[in-house]
Each structure stands twice: as C-alpha cells, then as structure tokens.
Amino acid sequence: MDNLMNTVIQMAEGSEITLEIFFVTLIVALPLGMLAAIGRLSPIAPLSRLLEFYVWLMRGTPLMLQLLFVYFALPMVGIMLPDIAAALLAFILNYAAYFCEIFRAGIQSVPRGQYEAAKTLGMSYPLTMRRIILPQVIRMVLPPISNETINLVKDTSLIYILAMNDLLRVARTIVQREFDMTPFVVAAVFYLAMTFVLTWMFKKLEAHYGRYAQ
C-alpha cells in the first residue's frame, strides 16, 4: 500500500509537466488556429498561401520529428530555448495547424445566406461574426476539436524522448528500478481519466451548442 502511494506521488510530479504541455498547447493553439483560419480565408493571397504551406508542413511531417527538430536542431543554429519552451513551441505549431484546418472548414460551412440575412437586417460585419457566424462555427467544430484534444492528451507522451521527466518517463524509471509494473497501470489510468473527463466535457458542450439542430 505504501509502495503504491509512493509510486502515485512520484508520478503526480511527472504528470505536472504532461498537464502543462496539454493545457498550454490547447489554450494557445486554439486561438492561434482560429486566427490562422481567418488568415487562410482572407482575400490576401500571399497570407493565405503562406498559411496553406504552414498547414501542409505541420500536418505532413510527424510531430515526433518536429519535436526533435525544435529540441536539437534549433540550438545548432544558435537558438537556445528552455526544454519546456522548446517542447511547447513544437506542440503549439503542430496543433495550431490542425485547428486551423478545422476552423477553416467550420467557417466555410456557414452558408452565404447567413451573412446576407444579417446584412439586410442592418448588422455590421463584427456583429454578424459574433452573433451569427461564430456560434454556428463552434457547433460545427466541436466534434473534430474534441477528437484533436483527446489526441493531444496522448501525444503529450511524445516528450518522453526529450528526457523531461514527464509522466511516462517517471513511470518507466520506477518500473526499471523496482521491477514492478504498477506505474504503467497508473499511467494508463491517468490518461484514461483525462480522456474520460474531456469526452464528458465535450459532450456537454456539443449538447449545448447543438440544441437547435433536431
């Protein structure tokens, strides 16, 4: 029993870095992805092209490679980042690209007629966006964002390779030291619990924003 408590306490420390990566990535990448989607859909061709390239690059290469690149290659060209910042940079850039595509599809799914109806009612563009378009976009994007968020929970385990003492690395260290599989089970429970809470949260959100569609 004591042993298990000890394991859990050590792993709770490991989960700190995992949670930090998860929350910071989500909080920064979501608005960034939204902005990127607006830029991607803007009539400014160079901006749109640049963002298209960015999305293509981020989605076309493994996150693992991007992590290694930021962690090991950037210092070679003189860019030194603290470990956690390097990992966050890679995660945020990667996830913002996925969110960008999700928001782009969501914005494009709102029919022209919605903008036109708002305009004929005298609504300004910002008011139309805030009151008419965004609520509909949110409803469209919630399911794919829910998917990506749950992927992110599991993707945080990739920082394992950066030797940053995340949940998974702490687990492996204990397993190797004490010849006891419990830490792996504890890790699995941790990931499952996160996923469970997130799934429940998104279900609530989807019900709230989807209440108008039969």
Partner 1 sequence: MADMHSETMLRMTDIHKSYGRIEVLKGINLEVRQGEVLAIIGPSGSGKSTLLRCINRLETIQSGEIEICGQKLVHMEDGHSVYAADDEARRILASTGMVFQQFNLFPHMTVLENLIEAPIHVKHESRAEILPYARELLERVGLADRADYYPAQLSGGQQQRVAIARALCMRPQIMLFDEPTSALDPELTGEVLKTMRELAESHMTMVVVTHEMGFAREAANQVIFMAEGGIIEQGEPHEFFSHPREERTKAFLQSRL
Establish if 124 lies at the interface with partner 1 (CB under 8 A). yes
3: exposed, middle or buried (Cβ count in 10 Å: 0-12, 13-18, 19+): exposed
- Smaller CB distance to partner 1: residue 179 or 212? 212
- Contact flags string 133-152 toward partner 1, x per CB under 8 A: --xx--x-------------
DSSP secondary structure letters along 119-153: HHTT--HHHHIIIIIHHHHHHHHHHHHHHHHHHHH
Query: With contact defined as beta carbons under 8 Å apart, do 195 and 50 qualify?
Result: no
Smallest gap from residue 211 Cβ to partner 1 (A)? 8
Establish if 182 lies at the interface with partner 1 (CB under 8 A). no
Establish if 121 lies at the interface with partner 1 (CB under 8 A). yes
Number of residues interacting with partner 1: please give it, by CB under 8 A.
22
DSSP state of 18: H
- Smaller CB distance to partner 1: residue 81 or 134? 134
In 10 A of CB 36, how many CB atoms? 23
Q: What's the residue count for the chain?
A: 214
Name which position in 24, 84, 132, 164 contacts partner 1 (CB under 8 A). 132
Stretch touching partner 1 by CB under 8 A, among 3-11, 42-50, 87-95, 204-212: 204-212
- Smaller CB distance to partner 1: residue 24 or 133? 133
Nearest to residue 120, comparing CAs of 108, 131, 128?
A: 128
Alpha carbon separation from 190 to 26, 124, 158, 165 (Å, rounded):
18, 47, 16, 16
Establish if 184 lies at the interface with partner 1 (CB under 8 A). no
In 10 A of CB 20, how many CB atoms? 15
Smallest gap from residue 153 Cβ to partner 1 (A)? 29
Name which position in 53, 61, 69, 116 contacts partner 1 (CB under 8 A). 116
Smallest gap from residue 89 Cβ to partner 1 (A)? 36
Stretch touching partner 1 by CB under 8 A, among 95-103, 121-129, 164-172, 181-189: 121-129
In 10 A of CB 212, how many CB atoms? 8
Integer Cα distance of 32 and 42 in angstroms: 15
Question: Interface with partner 1 by CB under 8 A: which residues?
Answer: 111, 113-114, 116-117, 119-124, 127, 131-132, 135-136, 139, 209, 211-214
